[in-house]
Chains A and B, each alone.
Chain A
């Protein structure tokens, strides 16, 4: 089954404690990205990757890091989380960066930073 898998689904952590949210896709997609979803703001892109070892900032990259060492994996790293990073996070993958390709989303990770 084609899918994007994120872990964990829920995470509560304290300010400053480094964490990683994993994302893996089994569709051999080149393009992957991370979004955060906040009430009234929809989804905003944090980082994206167009292929292995190629990553770039989205609209809200501050406080986040990513890496793309393998095609299937695209982890999101918060080196020093802060309460304003409390949000619902989604990983997504697409076959290419062409305009009309469908994005497949993971089930989301609800992060709370206290």
Chain B
């Protein structure tokens, strides 16, 4: 079946460091890909998405490119801030039933 694999956390960075969180997927067909973010004590909210190969999603300085040839959707940000500390989930959308398949989540902690 379809699946999503993310790099293990937690990830600890200093403010203004470069961030990469790896995400790879296994899917039949052409799924849509998402990054969701979960701030402490809150629900998940959409960070960015890409719906077809070579699309780049971007929001709040974060970017991710839908790479079909490597089945990847890595999340990047050039300069992280303390306020980016959260758990990040990579997800794909299945065709049947509209289910979202999530990776295990990566906890990011940014220190001043």
Contact = CB atoms under 8 A, between A and B. Distances in A.
Interface stretch (A12-20, A68-76, A77-85, A94-102): A94-102
Interface residues of A, number: 30
Interface in B48-72: 49, 51
A112 interface: no
Given A90-B44, A100-B32, A100-B51, A42 B97 contact: no
B67 to A, nearest CB: 17
Q: Could you say which of A41, A48, A98, A100 has the most chain B C-beta atoms within 10 Å of its C-beta? A: A100
B56 to A, nearest CB: 15
Interface of B: 4, 30-32, 34, 36, 41-46, 49, 51, 89, 93-95, 97-100, 102-105
The 10 closest A-B pairs by CB, nearest first: A97-B98, A105-B43, A42-B102, A100-B51, A99-B32, A43-B102, A105-B44, A100-B32, A42-B104, A99-B93
